Chain A
Amino acid sequence: MSKYKGATVNERLYISGRLDDFYMAVEKKNIDEVKKILVEVELKTESINEILKHFKLLD
């Protein structure tokens, strides 16, 4: 069973220990790093794109 079961996005990031890395990548607009971290926390492309749009990292 995934450790991210039922978790919010932030919760996934926190559990993975990548929360700060994620927001740093967002701040730096490092899209590749943002994607990489989101993949690490087992989010799928559809969810990742939703998040990238939210942070204005994807049109």
Chain B
Amino acid sequence: MLSENKYLYNGKELQDEQLGGVNLDHYDYHTRFYDPALGRFTTQDPLADEFSSWTPYHYVHNNPINLVDPTGMAATKYEDEEGNTLLNTNDGSDAVVTVTDDKRQGFDAAVKGTKNTDDVDWNKSMKAYALGFNLSDKQETALSRLNSDWSRKGAINYWKTGKGGMAFGLKEVLSQWTNPELVVHGIAAGVAGFGAVSRSRVYRVYGGDSGPTGRSWTPINPRRVTGFRDKAGLPSGGASGYNNTGRFVVDGIVDNRNIVGSQRAIPLDGNRGGLPEYFIEPGNVMIKRVSGVNPEF
């Protein structure tokens, strides 16, 4: 059986964290980075190692919240309690379903009894049989946005038991990233697609020719990024003709519905870009803090 504890995470600093007096619990993630499908590049990103779990850019969409992983070839994977694969089906779902021992006989019989294990309806029935509930379209969408079978299994376990929270995302990310800030964002990446995600913490570095109320924000805390100017692709007095001095940082919170789009920063003035960049209309960010930076970014 799947252990509930397998997906638990004792991240109290995340559960209890307050931001500017705003309580932000697990289901109201204070930081978030959407599914990699939001910002896929056609080229190798200079920060590929740092953001190794992100997929390369493919095409931008205006509404990241409604994005569905377009990679296709989704397959429901049925596993036994030991994690051994019993069946892979090409049914357009990314579900990873554990068939418990008590349902194994029925599962095996159903497999033998069908002519097409790729059939969508057959798989819906089998998933419902194995899980004890029907996966909703919303849940299927969420599964398509997770990065690994491990996370998908964790998500299903969460829906099945109501326990385990979002930790499945964290564990996965911890295995890939060591930067705490990225881990935090990775948690959210692991759960992107859940309706519970409602707000994100965002940052804007400005100064000089750049003001505090522009459309470009990042979900990554600039204070925790080495070489932020380079990775953010800030205008730096080169051919762009302008200079963002990086003298100030705005910390804000945005309702996710107001994030119009997301991309990785593009190179400019010798800065390589690569950091995630959110596009938000002025006035839609709740400013929590403005602070000076010394030395400047």
Contacts and interface: CB of A to CB of B under 8 A. Distances in A.
Interface residues of A, number: 28
Kindly state the interface size class of chain B when it binds its partner: 35 or more
B252 interface: no
Contact of A8 (B42, B239, B261, B268): B268
Contacts of B208: 6
Nearest to B243: A6
B233 interface: yes
B240 A47 contact: yes
B89 interface: no
Given A6-B214, A8-B233, A10-B265, A54 B273 contact: yes
A54 B266 contact: yes
B216 A47 contact: no
Given A6-B206, A6-B242, A11 B267 contact: no
A39 B260 CA distance: 23
Nearest to A14: B279
Contact of A19 (B214, B234, B263, B270): B263
Interface of A: 4-11, 14-15, 19-20, 22-24, 26-27, 43-47, 50-51, 53-56
Interface of B: 41-43, 57-62, 206, 208-211, 214-216, 232-235, 238-244, 260-261, 263, 265-270, 272-273, 277, 279
